[in-house]
Amino acid sequence: MVIDTSAEKLRRPVAAILRRPDAWYAGFAVYATCVAVFSGPGLDHWWGTWAACGYAVAATVAAAYRTRAGQLAALAVAVTGALVAPLAWLATREPATPDVTVVARSGALLLHHGSPYLPAAQLAHGGWLAYNPYLPVMAVFGLPKALGLPGILGDPRPWLAVATFLVLFAAFLVTTKSRATELRAGSGLGAAVTLATLAIASPVMAFPLALGITDPPVMALTCLALALLTRGRPACWQAAMVLGVVCAMKYTAWPALAVLVALVAARDGARAAVRFCGAALGTAIALTAAFAPAALSSPVALLENTVAYPLGLTAARSPAQSPLPGHLLATLGPAGHAAAITLLVLAGVAVAVSLVIAPPATPAQAAIRIALGLTVLFALSPATRFGYLCYPLALCGWVALTGARRQTSPPTRLTTETRPEPRRPASSGRLLAGVGQR
């Protein structure tokens, strides 16, 4: 009796994507160069300058040294140039970004007042920077500074980056490490580390992390929930708890809850879906109560910060004003703003109807459905920015890197059929250290 595993199904698409990492780094370098040239003199310019150099050197190293050691060296250069160096520079040499300011303040408010939100009376005179559009768990990244850690150690950015990497590592470990590889010294561990490093080195993650934008850990936790659901029904409760955590961090995660409930209902039945939804919502409510106990007694501040402000229903307007359809409509006056809100609601109803008529059958399909739903949401929101499109890019990247689209059978099954050990593609071994080692 031998164990038949789908690990090879995961390696083949990874090998196809990463066969030419030098080309990927070169593409990243072009993007970073455009950011540096066209973004003006702000902080985006500094990230683009650092990242363009890092990616260019990484592409050169990857093209010149095609051994595994050379590819790992190129990856180290990419993550240093695109994330570590610009993050350290911006955190120590430049003023804090609005996102960093809000998160740091929310940690201090939580520690001293039991709520990460300013009361409604103070919001009226504090301008847009007084608002905190994040849900309570996001305040945890502001606690290091509130606890008195100095300099860069108190800045939320390193903690956002570390948390994102660890969650991505867990997500990739779930999808690359099968029981068969566990019996052979855990060969999925090196692949998970490498893929997580590649993910945070890409502009999709490195750019927002260097500037202290709070979306990367939300994206990473969503990917972890999807990864857990690839293991079938036994891991549903784990996925629900992860989803509950991310739903208590930011509202951008809530569309994922609807999609994943539809997935569980289609795959495991209505009762399983009800239990999944209950576990996720229960976790989110418990975490909200734990991280904002004072806000529960005064929900007006919570709603003003996290609902009214993002929807543009407050006197202070969000600076997120990229020229997407929802924002363009909102600039036409009250009627245009109402039209944008109406279209947003109708789009949400259309997505909900699609989940009933044609629910996703696999985590990969769910990831694509979440990506499409978020793209529509961001396009029609009155307060929006192009940077939000990192969500659909991250979800599609998770599907591509893990090969989840091709995984149509459970990760592990037993058979009495004897078959030769499949050979590992040589091209993926150059970059994915540890995959398939015996």
242-256, 296-310, 334-348: which has the highest mean pLDDT?
Answer: 242-256
- Tell me what pLDDT residue 21 has: 87
Q: Which of 169-183, 319-333, 337-351, 398-412 tops mean pLDDT?
A: 337-351
Which carries the bigger pLDDT value, residue 403 or residue 208? Answer: 208
pLDDT value at residue 18: 57
Answer whether residue 438 shows pLDDT above 60.
no
Where does the pLDDT of residue 296 fall: very low under 50, low under 70, confident under 90, or very high at 90 and above? confident
Confidence of residue 331 (pLDDT cuts 50, 70, 90): confident
What integer pLDDT is reported at residue 408 of this predicted model?
46
CA distances to 179, 226, 348 from 366, in Å? 25, 8, 16
The pLDDT score that the predictor gives to residue 261 is 95
Instruction: Kindly state the percentage of the chain with pLDDT values over 90.
Output: 53
Q: What is the pLDDT of residue 177?
A: 60
Mean pLDDT, residues 191-213 taken together: 93
Is residue 321's pLDDT more than 80?
A: no
Higher pLDDT, 316 or 282: 282
What average pLDDT is seen over the chain? 83
Give me the pLDDT at residue 320, please. 66
Q: Is the pLDDT of residue 88 over 80?
A: yes
325 against 26, higher pLDDT: 26
Span 66-87, pLDDT tens digits: 898 999 999 999 999 999 999 9
Residue 100, pLDDT above cutoff 80? yes
The predicted pLDDT at position 404 comes to 55
Confidence bin at 436 (pLDDT 50/70/90)? very low
Rounded Cα–Cα distance for residues 209 and 192 (Å)? 20
Among 148-162, 182-196, 238-252, 380-394, the minimum mean pLDDT is found in 182-196
pLDDT band at residue 343 using 50, 70 and 90 as cut-offs: confident
pLDDT tier for residue 382 given thresholds of 50, 70 and 90:
confident
- 3-state per-residue secondary structure call for the chain: CEEEECHHHHHHHHHHHHCCHHHHHHHHHHHHHHHHHHCCCCHHHHHHHHHHHHHHHHHHHHHHCCCHHHHHHHHHHHHHHHHHHHHHHHHHHCCCCHHHHHHHHHHHHHHHHCCCCCCHHHHHHHCHHHCCCCCHHHHHHHHHHHCCCCHHHHCHHHHHHHHHHHHHHHHHHHHHCCHHHHCCCCCHHHHHHHHHHHHHHCHHHHHHHHHCCCHHHHHHHHHHHHHHHCCCHHHHHHHHHHHHHHHCCCHHHHHHHHHHHHHHHHHHCHHHHHHHHHHHHHHHHHHHHHHCHHHHHCHHHHHHHHHHCCCCCCCCCCCCECCCHHHHHHCCCHHHHHHHHHHHHHHHHHHHHHHHHCCCCCHHHHHHHHHHHHHHHHHHCCCECHHHHHHHHHHHHHHHHHCHHHCCCCCEEEECCCCCCCCCCHHHHCCCCCCCCC
pTM value surpassing 0.95: no
When pLDDT is cut at 50, 70 and 90, the band that residue 410 belongs to is very low
Task: Give the residue carrying structure tokens 């784990």.
Answer: 238
Q: Is the pLDDT of residue 34 over 90?
A: yes
Q: Token pair for residue 420?
A: 């030769």
Which pLDDT band holds residue 183 (cuts at 50, 70, 90)? very low
Phi and psi, residue 133, nearest 5° = -80, 0
More confident position, 327 or 194: 194
- Mean pLDDT value of segment 350-373: 91
**Rounded distance between C-alpha atoms, residue 70 and residue 53, angstroms:** 18
**pLDDT, tens only, 109-131:** 999 999 999 888 788 777 888 89
What's the average model confidence in pLDDT over 385-411? Answer: 74
d(CA 273, CA 249): 22
